[in-house]
Amino acid sequence: MTATLAGQVALVTGAGRGIGAAIACELAERGCDLGLVDVDAAGGLNGVAETVRSGGRRALAMSADVTSMTAAEANVTAVIRELGRLDILVCCAGITRDAVVWKMSEEAWDTVLAVNLKGCFTYCRAAAPVLRGQRRGRIVTIASINGMRGKAGQANYAASKAGVIALTKTLARELGPSGVTVNCIAPGFIRTAMTAVLPEAIVAGAIAETALGRLGDPEDVARTAAFLCSEGARHITGEIIKVDGGQYL
């Protein structure tokens, strides 16, 4: 792997497992040092940090809830203090609490909106002054094709991801004049712990509606994120890139 991001520092939320972990490892392979954030400190966070370090890069593992503005600011400050700078922010932390609207609890609505949408805002809010000040940087958010097309049983999740898309486009306009790009990846069905709990019929349905006839892996999303962070993507901003094998066409 060529170290196309050598010397850069990235902060990834939801980095303890799944897509966030794959993005962190991909960015490390390309030369980044990593700030890693996850609410589940007992999960894979330290293992991901070890993987980053075993590849010769530095890693700072931080246990935090992305819904907290205070935590976001503390994490950005810690990354700059410990790793020296901040070039890339990837907002990947996310959850589901599925139910049809007439059975969805207020708590399920609030929690999903808080983690998926506010949890993106908090880290963008904390990182934006840093990236603006240095007049360069990359932000990548993670939405979902279900935030574009809607999905029965996922009103909270789809609304949160549509919000992430709007946040991304707005931030792209706000940070563009400072030379910072802001893009969004909208994955289709990806094999992770989040989707492992779904019934076999749902999985079969996802494969059937996908042009490539298969499910995605976290690495498929990670490679796209790394591209969006690269110099090769310098003229791409405010874009929503589906990584879905043609699931939503």
- Count CA atoms within 13 Å of residue 199 on its CB side: 4
Query: Nearer to ligand NAD by C-beta: 1 or 193?
Result: 193
| Residue 186 Cβ vs ligand NAD, minimum distance, rounded to whole Å | 7
24-83: which residues touch ligand NAD (CB under 6 A)?
38-40, 43, 65-67
CB of 133 to ligand NAD, least distance (A): 26
DSSP secondary structure letters along 165-194: HHHHHHHHHHHGGGTEEEEEEEE-SB-SHH
**Can you read off the two tokens belonging to residue 56?**
């010769």
17 vs 138, which CB is nearer to ligand NAD? 17
- Please say which residue, 136 or 217, places its beta carbon nearer to ligand NAD: 217
Minimum distance from residue 139 beta carbon to ligand NAD (Å) = 14
Within 13 A of 175's CA, how many CA atoms are on the CB side?
29
46, 178, 195, 230: which one binds ligand NAD (CB under 6 A):
195
Sites for ligand NAD among residues 130-189 (CB under 6 A)? 142, 144, 187, 189
Q: Which is nearer to ligand NAD, 66 or 233 (CB)?
A: 66
Residue 76: HSE in the Cβ half-sphere, 13 Å Cα cutoff: 22
| 248 catalytic residue (yes or no) | no
By C-alpha distance, which of 140, 145, 167 is closest to 158?
145
Helix (H) or strand (E) holding 243: strand 240-243
- What number of other Cβ atoms are within 10 A of residue 35's Cβ? 28
C-alpha distances in Å from residue 82, one per residue of 163, 182, 200, 245: 32, 25, 44, 38
Min dist CB 99 to ligand NAD, Å, is 16
- The catalytic position among 157, 190, 222, 245 is 157
Residues annotated catalytic, as ranges: 157
| Site residues, ligand NAD (CB under 6 A) | 13-14, 16-20, 38-40, 43, 65-67, 92-95, 115, 119, 142, 144, 187, 189-190, 192-195
